[in-house]
Amino acid sequence: MKTYVTTAIPYVNGVPHLGHAEDYLLADIYSRYRKMRGDDVKFQAGTDEHGNKIEKKAAELSKDVKIYVDENSEKFKEFIKKLGVEYTDFIRTTDESHEQLVQKIWQKLDSHIYKSEYKGWYCEGCERFVTDNEYKENNGVCPDHQKPYEHLSESNYYFKVSDFKDEIKSKIESNELKILPEFRKNEILKLLADTPDVSISRPTAHLKWGVKVPGDDEQVMYVWMDALSNYITVLGYPDKDISDFWPASVQVVGKDILRFHAILWPAMLLGLGLPLPKVLLCHGFILANGQKMSKSIGNVVDPIEVLDKHGLDAFRYYFSRHIDTFADSDFTWEKYENAYNNELANDYGNLVQRLSNLCKKNEITRDFLEKRKVLEDGAFKNTWDSDDAEYTRLMDNFEFSKGIEYAWEKIQAVNKRIEDTKPWSVAKENPEEAKILLSSLVGDLLNANEMLKPFLPAAKTVEDIFTNEKIEPPKTPLFPKEFKK
């Protein structure tokens, strides 16, 4: 099966912060899971490089805006790699190919575009036109960015979202466009009902750093129209047939940008005659002391510091298990240290050390594991049998924090079984029986370990340890108390 997984493309008006990791990790977990199930996976990532706030930030730093976005885009790329994310495509909205394709998309939407005057509010942090009602509800200040809305009075192109509202509504209601978690669906349906036609351009007098509107030198495209298109321009649309990978299997977004992906984006797709993505997976925020972590607020935690503290597996473990897939969750160093020492190192690291030691002492070999049908042709073959139906259900429903929790219970069950069966005592009485017991314990561990693979790259190392010709415990613990880079 073909699977297409997408991630929101971050603005490059700063360097990556901890909150940015969320999109990539969720997408990577799903992508690795689908690959385990045999899918051909395409995974897009990229950077959103136009718009007012980037233009302004570069000016503040007295930097050429192109040089500025080049530098920061590279930092995001490095960050994604450091997270162990197996993306297949990286797109920048300043790529010439993207810019040309977006202009073609605009032309294809022509019959749904008209020109009018915009008099109203704008939030530069969100890069969003704000309705009068919202302005009143929020007392003129954006709750996400804590900045007053700007008043605009300008001539813009509008996109007739009204042409598609009924169709979008019915597709969301019927789950043809599935919004997860479910409770967000109602939020969106309410917003959709109140959504006016959307302004999709800005006069060059107010914004220069954008893609030119075809046939009008005085207007550039609204940054969201340009950015949303990345999901299909990266596949080559409209020059290429994209039906192999479109519609996307899942598009991962944060809760602050769901509205763009659940209203404007579907309207654009319907206008282009393209199918809608199957799932919009909307995650919550990573908070610092109960507040959204954001560049504009200035309370960001440096993800590189977190990564360097205990390594990649610790990072991925914490963010998969202790940051809820759908709800807001706090990051604190204390919780992070606890999860590392008391869970990852104790439950998993020690189990691997202990069981591999016992296997070495009792001379468990690959041949023996094959004879006991734990391995087949030297490898562990996951059968995804009914035992794992619950895990499969959770992963298929994108309940990743529950999926890793389920796998962890299996890891803890292996620890308990070792305690209960005491293979070291059995070995004294009956070495042959101890070997049979140990091989079955290895089977249990490999089974639980398989379920950890989408989350932890270390699961591959663990598999290698137990599928070697001779089992050797790792020379240094997998998760030492003092992590050395």
Q: Which positions touch ligand MSP (CB under 6 A)? A: 8-11, 19-20, 22-23, 48, 227-228, 230, 253-254, 256-257, 285-286, 292-294
Taking the complex as a whole, the smallest distance from the CB of residue 150 to ligand MSP amounts, in Å, to 18
Nearer to ligand MSP, 23 or 399 (CB): 23
The verdict on whether 104 is a catalytic residue reads: no
The verdict on whether 17 is a catalytic residue reads: yes
Taking the complex as a whole, the smallest distance from the CB of residue 41 to ligand MSP amounts, in Å, to 20
Nearer to ligand MSP, 10 or 210 (CB): 10
Nearer to ligand MSP, 11 or 164 (CB): 11
**Which one from 42, 57, 98, 145 is the annotated catalytic residue?**
145
Q: Which residue is nearest to ligand MSP (CB)?
A: 254
The verdict on whether 145 is a catalytic residue reads: yes
The verdict on whether 206 is a catalytic residue reads: no
Nearer to ligand MSP, 102 or 414 (CB): 102
Nearer to ligand MSP, 245 or 479 (CB): 245
**Which one from 295, 310, 410, 453 is the annotated catalytic residue?**
295
If we measure between CA atoms, which residue out of 1, 116, 8, 37 comes closest to residue 395?
37
**Which one from 42, 98, 292, 435 is the annotated catalytic residue?**
292
Taking the complex as a whole, the smallest distance from the CB of residue 35 to ligand MSP amounts, in Å, to 23
**Which one from 20, 185, 283, 322 is the annotated catalytic residue?**
20
The verdict on whether 190 is a catalytic residue reads: no
Taking the complex as a whole, the smallest distance from the CB of residue 359 to ligand MSP amounts, in Å, to 41
Taking the complex as a whole, the smallest distance from the CB of residue 227 to ligand MSP amounts, in Å, to 4
Could you give the C-alpha distances from 473 to 16, 94, 419, 468, in angstroms and in order?
A: 37, 49, 19, 11
Taking the complex as a whole, the smallest distance from the CB of residue 256 to ligand MSP amounts, in Å, to 5
The verdict on whether 57 is a catalytic residue reads: no
Taking the complex as a whole, the smallest distance from the CB of residue 169 to ligand MSP amounts, in Å, to 22
Q: What are phi and psi of 138, to 5 degrees?
A: -100, 10
Nearer to ligand MSP, 294 or 325 (CB): 294
Q: Cβ(117)–Cβ(203) under 8 Å?
A: no
**Which one from 42, 50, 112, 126 is the annotated catalytic residue?**
126
The verdict on whether 295 is a catalytic residue reads: yes
Per the DSSP assignment, residues forming a β-bridge with 117 are: 155
Q: Residue 445: how many CA atoms within 13 Å on its side-chain side?
A: 31
Taking the complex as a whole, the smallest distance from the CB of residue 18 to ligand MSP amounts, in Å, to 7
Written as six digits, the tokens of 336 are 């992070």
If we measure between CA atoms, which residue out of 211, 216, 210 comes closest to residue 155?
216
**Which one from 50, 53, 98, 142 is the annotated catalytic residue?**
142
Give dist(CA 226, CA 163) in Å, integer. 20
Nearer to ligand MSP, 46 or 443 (CB): 46
Nearer to ligand MSP, 32 or 295 (CB): 295
The verdict on whether 142 is a catalytic residue reads: yes
**Which one from 53, 57, 123, 283 is the annotated catalytic residue?**
123
Catalytic residue list: 17, 20, 123, 126, 142, 145, 292, 295
